[in-house]
Amino acid sequence: MKKNILVSRQYPREGIRLLEKEDFLLTIWEKQRPMTQNELIEQAKTHHALLCTLTDKIDKHFLEQCRHLEIISQFAVGYDNIDIAAATRFGIPIGFTPDAMSEATADIAFGLMIAVARKMFFLHKTIINGQWGYFNPTGKLGVELKNKTLGIFGLGRIGVKMAQRCKNAYNMDIIYHNRTRNKDAEKLLNASYVEFDDLLLKSDVLSVHCALTSATKKIFNRSAFQKMKPSAIFINTARGPIHHEKDLAHAIQAGDIWGTGLDVTNPEPMQKDNPLLFMENVCILPHVGSGTIEARNQMSVLAAMNIIDFYSNRQVPHIVNPEVLES
């Protein structure tokens, strides 16, 4: 029997072509807006498998309605939109797409770091507003990054790539904090493991690369920012709820830190009147970390392969809850 796959939006053709070749019956949501959760549930009810992404709400309610799904393959490395415990209880394997976007996301973190250090987005806006002004030897000044200390919160695949960029370009010292030590990365980067408070105290640039969990939610709050250097730059390209957005804005206004570069906000989309958008030392992007042709193509291939290998009784290459398939 042919399997019906619900594809929650238009993903790159590379992966879709692989699914089509395997003779699955695909229903692709073609509208220029994501499905509401009710629409997703209604559609998923008549399908065997789902290809979805980070803004599709795959919570307990969805899973209770759609416990018949044989596999859910997520087009993303993060899966905080999915209730993994519930999926595991219902025996639904969850695929994901790790590493496909590591280079692309590290580029965005690295780019934001430089953009904040030199106030690039703000200065761009001054031109639009007719305020180029004159050459002022003491005006519009940024800071340099050479020989500074980079603190990584979550030294995994993307964190390592960010650290490599900073080490190679600016000879930065690397310190990090993780749940578990990453000895390979320590060797590769000559990185030192530090406690969370030390990461806050010592980092000139602090870049977040961890997953969003109950332990990391709002961990960067007022008390954390107050421990940081007044010259520090805070970068988050992981998930918005890891920082407390009002506390972050307050920290910059109060001079607790120098500035911030965000590719993720809380909520998303960010409201256009958010005070952070008008601050001099702030650069914000609309969650485009994985937004390169190369990364998105590879993500679509990995997401498709999870489904193809599952139905071919091969080992599913990238799975969040492998215990479901073992039992």
For ligand DGY, the binding residues (CB under 6 A) are 54, 76-78, 101, 289-290
Instruction: Give residue 299's identity as a one-letter amino acid code.
Output: M
Nearer to ligand DGY, 108 or 316 (CB): 108
**Residue in 194, 198, 259, 201 with CA at minimum distance from that of residue 229:** 201
Which of 9, 157, 209, 287 is flagged as catalytic?
A: 287
CA atoms within 13 A on the CB side of 245: 17
Active-site residue flag, 195: no
Helices (H), the chain: 13-21, 37-44, 60-65, 84-89, 102-117, 120-128, 157-170, 183-189, 196-202, 222-227, 245-253, 293-311, 323-326
Quote the distance between the C-alpha of residue 209 and its chain's center.
7
Residue in the block written with tokens 């489904």: 307
Which of 268, 294, 314, 323 is flagged as catalytic?
A: 268
Quote the distance between the C-alpha of residue 200 and its chain's center.
21
CB of 150 to ligand DGY, least distance (A): 21
Nearer to ligand DGY, 93 or 289 (CB): 289
Which of 177, 239, 244, 296 is flagged as catalytic?
A: 239
CB of 289 to ligand DGY, least distance (A): 5
Partnered with residue 71 across adjacent β-strands are 49
Active-site residue flag, 48: no
Instruction: Give residue 72's identity as a one-letter amino acid code.
Output: I
Nearer to ligand DGY, 236 or 281 (CB): 236
Q: Are 94 and 79 in contact (CB under 8 A)?
A: yes
Nearer to ligand DGY, 242 or 279 (CB): 242
Active-site residue flag, 239: yes
Q: What token pair was written down for 73?
A: 């393959």
CB of 287 to ligand DGY, least distance (A): 6
Q: What token pair was written down for 197?
A: 């408070």
CB of 145 to ligand DGY, least distance (A): 25
CB of 55 to ligand DGY, least distance (A): 10
Q: Give the residue numbers marked as catalytic.
A: 239, 268, 287
